[in-house]
Structure 1
Amino acid sequence: MTSEQLPFRDPRREDGERAADLLGRLTPEERLSMLHQFAPAVERLGVAAFRTGQEALHGVAWMGPATVFPQAVGLGATWDEELLREIGEAVGRELLAMRSRDPRVGRNVWSPTVNLLRHPLWGRNEEGYSEDPRLTAALATGYTRGLRGDHPDRWRTAPILKHWLAHNHETDRDTASTSVPPRTLHEYELPAFRGPVRAGAVAGVMPAYNLVNGRPNHLSPLLETELRTWTDLPLVVCSDAGAPTNIAGSEAYHPDHASGLAAALRAGVDSFTDHGEDGGPTLERLREALERGLIEQRHIDTALLRLLGMRVRLGEFDPDGGPFADPAEHAFDTPAHRALALRAAEAAIVLLRNEPPVTDGEGAGTPMLPLPAGSRIAVVGLLADECKLDWYSGTLLHRSTPLDGLRDHPGIASVTYAEGTDRVRLRCADGWVTVPGASTGPTDGPEAADAGALDPALLRGRTDLPPLAVGPREGARDLHLVDWGGGALTLRAGSGAAGRYLSVAEDGLVRASARQPGGWVVQEVFTAEPIGAGPDAEPVGAGPGDAGPVLLRHRGTGRPLVAAPEGLRVAGEGEEPTPFTVEVVARGTEEVAAAAAGADAVVVVAGNDPHINGRETEDRVTLALPEQQDRLWRAARAVNPRTVLVLSSSYPYAVTEAAAELPALLWTAHGGQAAGTALARVLCGDVSPAGRLPQTWYASDADLPDLLDYDVIGSRLTYLYHPGEPLFPFGHGLSYTSFGHREPTVAPIAVGAGGTLRVEVTVVNTGDRAGEEVVQLYTRALPPGGDDGPGPARPLRALAAHRRLRLEAGESRRIALEAPVEEALGLWDPARGRLRVPAGRYAVEVGASSRDIRAAVEVEVVGEPAAPRPVVTAGLAAADADASEGVELVDRDRESGDAATPRDPATPARLLYRACDLGAAGAPTVTVTLTVTAEGEPGRVELRVVGAGSVDLPVPAGADRYDHRRVTAELPLPEGGDGPVDLEVILHGRVRFAALECGGTRGGAAGAA
């Protein structure tokens, strides 16, 4: 029998049977080798090599030219899962077309990112869809359905969700642990993954670098106890790059790499992404784990069976390659894809504010936007002529900047452009910095010699170009300086697309060689530090006046620059740096003011470069707009009240003064290849804006908790719990028309399995032009909390469903919005270990944002009554507190379970457990499982029965943090009371409290804790 006739190649057989047949034909060594990201071919069976991992967050990434759609957070702003399905399909078809030319393009797609945008300072904010779990789940379901395809058995691509779990920070991302209480876990974090997994379009997940409750995500027991219970599909778990090594490396969680990889395999990781294409170190560690008995062959086989099942679903082993091998399924840079990229960019634009401009102290009465036909426009700002990409973008096939879009728009009479960079020159004791081969004139207009002097094909890293040098004043070169905030500076020789950024190559020399800042380590960013202040000093910004003498420090290497005979370069070890003076030749504010003064309207385009001050590996430190960009909109506004601020960014800004002073503000994520055209069409009124904010825009940094505080309930974060007044609320977005929401009705609500909340509402376009509305359905528990009494904190309101729809002027439509009752009204009940819908009164609200409710219906829900905690039979897990203060959750042991410990050992930590059933009559005996390490401070635990009294339990020292001791005591009871009691556990010192069991004279046998 030839390999073509073997059962695993027979498409008539079940997928599981085919995968098992192939597994049985592989040798133990072949099986082991397939657990690495780069699985080798098995030529004797005709099995090709296979690579897990192809980035495709908003288009095929890292593999050359491809259609580039808006960033994921911009796709989140569309609130349109059908649009995302179309984009996913286009990306999948483009991937297949690229793969037909380049077999390195993989079909195991590591997209989308469903981590929630809990904290807006996260450096990777651009990668997520929303701060809301249900909106994220809906959009991810749409995108993965498109990537997967609609064939019943075969998959176009195999999408992998990133990153499991509670990953929303870059600071110490591979060593920091996030404390995630059960309610946050089950009500907030898990639903974003659960929705698309249950929809059947997800092949698996990728664990995150961080630890959760003290345990690395790559060892998460939730992979088995939660993720793999949501579907019958054999989900694949692919490690993040380098993470397997981190387990025994930076995390020091296991004593050696064999132990670390064995623990990951036992926890459910199937594919190990480590050491690039070299599988040798990974396989050697797994072989050692086998020899030491840390894993068995069954662990390898289980993981490989899931990987092979995914390959079967992709049609790899079908004789004809499966239905998606058909060239008709492939498409690349088609007119349809280009049109879709434009439609997505338009749909993502959010109109934040649109008021009449104030002239001579009075408003003119007509909103600032859309711009009247025939307007003379000044387009200014650091991003006015930019089409920025991010780390997960493909290479642009087409490019449209705001300047391009407005210049090309037939409704604009004329366009004046001013970038607004400060032009500077650098000098040192030996002379002035020059750029060999470039123009030496004092100005850098579009017609300057830069375009010819600097080949547009030049890229960073070139070492065959002449470096910057130091020479006489007449050879000095104007450099465009941008201060991106936080002291991050870029310097560019030449204007716009013709210019090239100063960049440091591997030889340490500085050259004008980069089209844009970029790369894993960005080599185009510098800081200017006062002499003698050191790298931690407050950097010098690009404010008024010359700066100097300063050290120019290269961020990529951390080293200062020196003017050497061979050229400008980074200093060697111990080498004395060169002091520089930054001489300002021209101010960007003056250039902007001059352009703005004579225009009918000014469009200021500000925002971020996705590779600087907020990206993978780097969180932001503030919500503030960089000072240089803040000065530019103020300069425009000072001479022309008809000023529009467009924020093109990967994340929100706290632009409170701009929102108060300017008549119009818009936000768009970096919109991909069609960003400029889309913006122009919205500004000019061809398209009525309909994007809605996928996350809260806070008014200031003071509104934010610590970046590592993941308890959204306790920290009062996101629209769900934040009680303050945001700058712009979740779901906000204006239109050029207006909408009404009328006559909402709620169908009878049945609580239980399969119960659905169904709301009908009439939506009316009450304006004079067509537009799109995003109808948002929220639920809110009304006081006093029904059978639960005051009970646990509930969301201020929570999104249950939404619908984006287009209505012509005057058109009305009756629509239905539906959501599972358990998800719309439920909360996590630690007594039951599941979601529960409390009985009580609820408001079912329909609105245009989370703070703009247009209609509401009050309903009485016959839910499940609260029940006492069955402590006497089931014990009490430490993590299951109803409320806590000063507590950090940590790992009970290396495999599973949580424990609680004080966040600060000097401050007692408190945990409250309500309505605990400790048994029948008499004083109950409780056994507490806890530990304090031998090297730790002496600790104690105080158990307090509310209204009765307390007992103290000293904690004996253990050998390590997992050496738990069991301490027994009798609890006091309220006088004459046999009912449930509230129990408070107070931890003093370096105590790790794991569980409490109840037994003894009160009638119940001790249960498993």
Structure 2
Amino acid sequence: MLDGLTIAEKIALLHQHQPAVPRLGLAAFHTGCEALHGAAWLGRATVFPQAVGLGATWDRELLRAVGAAAATEVRAYRDGGASLNVWSPVVNPLRDPRWGRNEEGYSEDPLMVAELAIAFCTGLRGDHPVVWRTAPVLKHFLAYNVETDRDRIDMRVPERVLHEYELPVFLEPLRAGVVAGVMPGYNLVNGIPNHVHPLLRSALRAAKPDVVICSDAQAPSNLIAQFPTHAESHAAALLAGVDSYTDNGTDSAPTISRFTEALDRGLITEADVNAAVSRLLALRALTGEFDPSNDPYASIGREVIACDAHNRLALRAARESIVLLRNDSGALPLAGSVAVIGALGGQVLRDWYSGDFPYAITIEAALRGRLDEVTYTPGLDLVRLSGLDGLFAHQDWGSGAHTFRSVDDGGYLTVEEDGSVSTAAPAPDGWVVREQWRLDGGVVRGDRPGLEFRLERVTDGVAEAVTAARAAERAVVVLGNDPHINGRETIDRADLALPPEQDRLLRAVVAANPNTVLVLVSSYPYAIDWAAEHVPAIVWTAHGGQEQGTAIADTLLGLNNPGGRLPQTWYRGDTDLPAPLDYDVIGAGWTYQYHRGPVLFPFGHGLSYTTFAHGPLTVDGATATVEVTNTGEVPGDEVVQVYCTPHDWPVAAPIRRLVAFDRITLAPGETRTVTLTIPSWVLSYWHDGAFVAPAGRCTFTTNGAD
């Protein structure tokens, strides 16, 4: 097919939105469909827990199944124009928990990220030997963990950190043969923009020669900051290895013009264009586009969207992702009358990369169906705003962000495109979140001049919460974040603290009723030092999708034994974290591998309603073996984690490093021998252009030995 294209047609295919070439039977095509935790931006879809919640499951088989379900629903939308080139998953390790996109990653550990990414991509790819269900693209290469000025920052990454921490999460899935492409990040690494970085060829194409490099949105135009002209920047990107250019929305004219000029000036050759177009056509061929009669997925229809099997899988994923952080003196499971307190107890929130809920079950609704007496109060002040009718529930999200939800119609106060104000927004959403407001004294202000209202408090939400807590035997306080506010794409968090108003609500409820359970529904860790000392039971879940309420209720009531484990460290409030731009993971002391101070909840932490005993660990070469027994009275899931502590490395060694893991289910009294494979690279360090596995002592432990 390549030989039949003119040079002008080939250049046009470099843009994200590729035009049809009717004489060759080539249909229009575009790269890019989101499937981070379910099919997204297409309409109604099964919504699974956020990626960091999937990471908390430590369950490869589950992630493979979720990937398969997401890809199947993308296939179902193909008749509506969905691309089978999916831009998922995000494999950037969660180095800094303040990263605005923390919710999109799996873990702070590179082995765990690589293994879960392989599992998820296996589901996205499918099992057919020739035709792929979808063609996954890993995001975002390389060293991308900061949103502020992300298109201009230069991450200085030492060689060891590059090869031991950053590269494996991309290279291992590529070598596994389940990835079709990689997307570079906006930032620079060691002085070079990622979209023209030599590592695109020397690392990525060395692992998979035909890997397609898809640019991030508008990143090609951003390169003008480093080049005299767009023709030169685009030529440099093409020569570096970028194949598909996501730029200027659906308007391909600027991209075509720039490459045409680059060709005319001799900056690139037709052979360079041919190489990129060949890879793009090969990507399309992977999904059966050019041989539809042999496409095993061609019959998939809309009936699979939110089908019973996918809904059951969503519940399983939500249940497996829950982490029991604290359970003092058996505070859980719940019994008796319960007061559910907190706005998130009555809501299920989407994030930027969610599909539209087919249904959504709140914590309050799920508990109400299981207990004889359940009350609910959001714990929010009701206020009047001058010039507007009705009452509004006022929520302070911290960092100066406030929302106002109409009591009458449930909509959020928002600014329309024409500058008018309405309550038409069902939730804070959109690339520009117009439902956020500032509060200066008693005046509510928007981002546009003249948008201001005087606030009058009508009821005291904390006082109502205290009354409800006193009237119940137990209180369940549900706190957390809205994924569209504060931490999100383009916005990093300033710190790890709970919003002050949420902290005030929690303290007041605990003072009124010490039998309080804290449920955190959040995209990232919080420094909850006070709660960890004063609240008997604490449960964390990422935003859990459509079955969030059922999964949490099941866990609080003991119907689901929590088996999730933390995929990243939860630091204390007084922890002096390194600066966000300090990418020296080893020298700065990032992550559980190198952080030497005390932490609130360590990487891999998670409690259960049963107990487990680990026998002696045996390591023979690349194989680790351990017996695990459920010593309690109820079935439960254990995540077996094997760590290595090197003692004789001639370079700075990790305090400990995860080298293998598996999630298993054991009946009461059951013993199982668990055998795990240890990849060679996790027992090595990078030196002088290669991994070195030094001789010397290395202590191996399991989490059961802690």
- Do both share a fold (TM > 0.5)? yes
Task: Give the corresponding residue for 2:693.
Answer: 837
Tell me the CA shift for residue 743 of structure 1.
Answer: 2.1
Output one character per residue of 1:215-260: Cα deviation in whole Å (capped at 9) or x when no partner.
111011001101111135x100000000000000xxx100111111
Q: Pick from 135, 139, 145: which aligns with 2:116? A: 139
- Does residue 778 of structure 1 match 2:643? yes
Task: Give the corresponding residue for 2:356.
Answer: 395
What's the secondary structure of 1:659's corresponding residue?
helix
Tell me the CA shift for residue 326 of structure 1.
Answer: 3.1
- Does residue 416 of structure 1 match 2:375? yes
Alignment of 1:961-972 (within 5 A): none
- Does residue 811 of structure 1 match 2:653? no
* Higher relative helix content: 2
Alignment of 1:787-802 (within 5 A): 791-802=650-661
Alignment of 1:720-799 (within 5 A): 720-747=593-620, 749=621, 757-782=622-647, 785=648, 791-799=650-658
Q: Pick from 320, 330, 350: which aligns with 1:347? A: 320
Q: Structure 1: any 5+ residue segments left out of the alignment? A: 1-21, 357-366, 427-431, 436-476, 530-546, 563-569, 571-577, 750-756, 855-1009
The separation in 2 between residues aligned to 1:318 and 1:581, in whole angstroms, is: 64
The separation in 2 between residues aligned to 1:628 and 1:193, in whole angstroms, is: 40
- Does residue 636 of structure 1 match 2:615? no
What's the secondary structure of 1:583's corresponding residue?
strand
Tell me the CA shift for residue 636 of structure 1.
Answer: 1.1
Tell me the CA shift for residue 559 of structure 1.
Answer: 2.9
Task: Give the corresponding residue for 1:479.
Answer: 392
The separation in 2 between residues aligned to 1:843 and 1:686, in whole angstroms, is: 38
Alignment of 1:365-514 (within 5 A): 367-372=330-335, 375-409=336-370, 412-426=371-385, 432-435=386-389, 477-494=390-407, 498-514=409-425
Task: Work out whether residues 624 and 678 of structure 2, in 8 Å CA contact, stay in contact via their aligned partners in 1.
Answer: no
Output one character per residue of 1:20-72: Cα deviation in whole Å (capped at 9) or x when no partner.
xx111111111111111010111011111111000110011111111100000
Task: Give the corresponding residue for 2:218.
Answer: 242
Tell me the CA shift for residue 701 of structure 1.
Answer: 5.5
Q: 1:138 to 1:342 in 2, by over 3 A?
A: same
Q: Pick from 812, 815, 827: which aligns with 2:685? A: 827
- Does residue 685 of structure 1 match 2:558? yes
Tell me the CA shift for residue 583 of structure 1.
Answer: 2.3
What's the secondary structure of 2:353's corresponding residue?
coil
The separation in 2 between residues aligned to 1:79 and 1:490, in whole angstroms, is: 35
Output one character per residue of 1:168-220: Cα deviation in whole Å (capped at 9) or x when no partner.
01000000111011000000001111121111100010000111111111011
Task: Give the corresponding residue for 1:453.
Answer: none
Q: Pick from 80, 91, 94: which aligns with 2:73? A: 94
The separation in 2 between residues aligned to 1:402 and 1:292, in whole angstroms, is: 62
Kindly provide the amino acid, as one letter, of the partner of residue 186 in structure 2. Y
Task: Work out whether residues 93 and 329 of structure 1, in 8 Å CA contact, stay in contact via their aligned partners in 2.
Answer: no
Task: Give the corresponding residue for 1:67.
Answer: 46
The separation in 2 between residues aligned to 1:141 and 1:327, in whole angstroms, is: 24
The separation in 2 between residues aligned to 1:329 and 1:338, in whole angstroms, is: 15
The separation in 2 between residues aligned to 1:478 and 1:157, in whole angstroms, is: 47
What's the secondary structure of 1:259's corresponding residue?
helix
Q: Name the stretch that deviates more: 22-31 or 200-209.
A: 22-31
The separation in 1 between residues aligned to 2:573 and 2:694, in whole angstroms, is: 35
Q: Structure 2: any 5+ residue segments left out of the alignment? A: none
The separation in 2 between residues aligned to 1:824 and 1:845, in whole angstroms, is: 15
Task: Work out whether residues 36 and 282 of structure 1, in 8 Å CA contact, stay in contact via their aligned partners in 2.
Answer: yes
What's the secondary structure of 1:226's corresponding residue?
helix
What's the secondary structure of 2:77's corresponding residue?
helix
Tell me the CA shift for residue 122 of structure 1.
Answer: 0.4
Q: Pick from 427, 433, 456: which aligns with 1:522? A: 433
What's the secondary structure of 1:143's corresponding residue?
helix
Task: Work out whether residues 70 and 672 of structure 1, in 8 Å CA contact, stay in contact via their aligned partners in 2.
Answer: yes
Tell me the CA shift for residue 581 of structure 1.
Answer: 3.9
Tell me the CA shift for residue 506 of structure 1.
Answer: 1.2
Task: Work out whether residues 692 and 733 of structure 1, in 8 Å CA contact, stay in contact via their aligned partners in 2.
Answer: yes
The separation in 1 between residues aligned to 2:48 and 2:106, in whole angstroms, is: 14
Output one character per residue of 1:374-397: Cα deviation in whole Å (capped at 9) or x when no partner.
x21100112111100000000111
The separation in 2 between residues aligned to 1:329 and 1:808, in whole angstroms, is: 39
What's the secondary structure of 2:372's corresponding residue?
strand
The separation in 1 between residues aligned to 2:88 and 2:251, in whole angstroms, is: 24
Kindly provide the amino acid, as one letter, of the partner of residue 559 in structure 1. R
Task: Give the corresponding residue for 1:51.
Answer: 30
Output one character per residue of 1:239-285: Cα deviation in whole Å (capped at 9) or x when no partner.
0000000000xxx1001111111110000000000111111110000
The separation in 2 between residues aligned to 1:479 and 1:230, in whole angstroms, is: 55
Task: Give the corresponding residue for 1:719.
Answer: 592
Task: Work out whether residues 47 and 545 of structure 2, in 8 Å CA contact, stay in contact via their aligned partners in 1.
Answer: yes
Kindly provide the amino acid, as one letter, of the partner of residue 810 in structure 1. G
Output one character per residue of 1:433-479: Cα deviation in whole Å (capped at 9) or x when no partner.
322xxxxxxxxxxxxxxxxxxxxxxxxxxxxxxxxxxxxxxxxx322
Task: Work out whether residues 72 and 300 of structure 2, in 8 Å CA contact, stay in contact via their aligned partners in 1.
Answer: no
Q: Pick from 5, 11, 15: which aligns with 1:36? A: 15
Task: Give the corresponding residue for 1:111.
Answer: 88
- Does residue 707 of structure 1 match 2:617? no
Q: 1:37 to 1:433 in 2, by over 3 A?
A: same
Q: Pick from 167, 176, 184: which aligns with 2:153? A: 176
Q: Percent identity?
A: 54
The separation in 2 between residues aligned to 1:640 and 1:118, in whole angstroms, is: 37
What's the secondary structure of 1:585's corresponding residue?
strand
The separation in 2 between residues aligned to 1:31 and 1:324, in whole angstroms, is: 29
Q: 1:53 to 1:727 in 2, by over 3 A?
A: same
The separation in 2 between residues aligned to 1:270 and 1:511, in whole angstroms, is: 44
The separation in 2 between residues aligned to 1:370 and 1:328, in whole angstroms, is: 42
Task: Work out whether residues 45 and 305 of structure 2, in 8 Å CA contact, stay in contact via their aligned partners in 1.
Answer: yes
* Higher relative strand content: 1
Task: Work out whether residues 622 and 701 of structure 1, in 8 Å CA contact, stay in contact via their aligned partners in 2.
Answer: no
Task: Work out whether residues 382 and 629 of structure 1, in 8 Å CA contact, stay in contact via their aligned partners in 2.
Answer: no
Tell me the CA shift for residue 307 of structure 1.
Answer: 0.6
Task: Work out whether residues 608 and 650 of structure 1, in 8 Å CA contact, stay in contact via their aligned partners in 2.
Answer: yes
The separation in 2 between residues aligned to 1:733 and 1:97, in whole angstroms, is: 37
Task: Work out whether residues 324 and 540 of structure 2, in 8 Å CA contact, stay in contact via their aligned partners in 1.
Answer: yes
Kindly provide the amino acid, as one letter, of the partner of residue 624 in structure 1. A
Task: Give the corresponding residue for 1:297.
Answer: 270
Task: Work out whether residues 623 and 701 of structure 1, in 8 Å CA contact, stay in contact via their aligned partners in 2.
Answer: no
Determine which structure has greater relative contact order: mean sequence separation of CA pairs < 8 Å that are 6+ residues apart, divided by chain length.
2
Task: Work out whether residues 602 and 642 of structure 1, in 8 Å CA contact, stay in contact via their aligned partners in 2.
Answer: yes
Output one character per residue of 1:325-383: Cα deviation in whole Å (capped at 9) or x when no partner.
13389822211000000000000000000002xxxxxxxxxx100113xx211001121
Task: Give the corresponding residue for 1:999.
Answer: none
The separation in 1 between residues aligned to 2:124 and 2:9, in whole angstroms, is: 30
Tell me the CA shift for residue 634 of structure 1.
Answer: 1.1
Tell me the CA shift for residue 700 of structure 1.
Answer: 1.8
Q: 1:481 to 1:319 in 2, by over 3 A?
A: closer
Structure with max Cα Rg? 1
Tell me the CA shift for residue 93 of structure 1.
Answer: 1.0
Task: Give the corresponding residue for 2:445.
Answer: 553
Cα RMSD (Å): 1.3
Task: Give the corresponding residue for 1:976.
Answer: none
